[in-house]
Amino acid sequence: MAVSFAVNSEAGLKKLDEFLLTRSYITGYQASKDDLAVYSSFSTAPSSKYTNVSRWFSHIDALVRLSGITEEGQGVKVESSAVAQASTPDVADAKAPAADDDDDDDVDLFGEETEEEKAAAEARAAAVKASGKKKESGKSSVLLDVKPWDDETDMAKLEEAVRSLKMDGLLWGASKLVPVGYGIKKLQIMMTIVDDLVSVDTLIEEHLCEPPVNEYVQSCDIVAFNKISRFQ
């Protein structure tokens, strides 16, 4: 059964924020059209108080701008009128014309959108549709283990130092601290790279393990490396 979200209400955003607490994407382990469906229902970027939603939204927004998302999803329902062009089959079903009272249970109305909100939603949906047609270099999703020097290393500053590394084709994603032992924790962090622009080995050897980042980072290992798009 498809998951359902209503992003234009406080309750809906809270539900989505809790849903994304342990997930990087709406369904599966890589960005898909399910993410696009939910993403395109936002008329503006979500408030930063919804930490997980804000992190996910920024990640999907960057993917759309870089090369678009073409991976098929598992189906998701978005209770919004702004997803006509980016809907998965389940979303399309939710928007099919119907006048029967039986459909009232499937749709929640949250008031009329302003003209500005409608225009913004239409522009976002158009950008999503256009992004799916772009041809780009292959991209990969990489999970890194970043280990500190000892249990006295400030892990907040370690993550800040890692995320301070910026280059074309590199996008940092979700992260978490994982206990190693003896009070020491390591940072696990996701990143999305454009293969032609970013070499993971070079990133580790010449940036993560070099000054000033190595003030906090002892070593860095690749945990997972998955292709998420190729030439079309």
pLDDT band, residue 79 (cuts 50/70/90): low
Instruction: From 67, 93, 114, give the residue that closes a domain.
Output: 67
Q: Is 160 within a domain? A: yes
Q: Which domain holds residue 212?
A: 139-228
Q: Please report the pLDDT score of residue 108 as a whole number.
A: 44
pLDDT band, residue 65 (cuts 50/70/90): confident
In the chain, the percentage of residues whose pLDDT exceeds 90 is: 27
Higher pLDDT, 24 or 81: 24
- Could you report the per-residue pLDDT of 89-132, keeping only the tens digit for each? 444 444 444 444 444 444 443 445 567 766 777 777 776 666 55
Does the pLDDT of residue 172 top 80, yes or no?
Answer: yes
Q: Please report where in the chains the tokens 């459909």 appear, as a residue.
A: 103
Q: Is 148 within a domain? A: yes
Q: Is 100 within a domain? A: no
| DSSP conformation letters of 113-161 | PPHHHHHHHHHHHHHHHHHTT-----EEEEEEEEEESSTTS-HHHHHHH
**Domain count of the fold of the chain:** 2
> Which CATH number fits the domain that encloses residue 185?
3.30.70.60
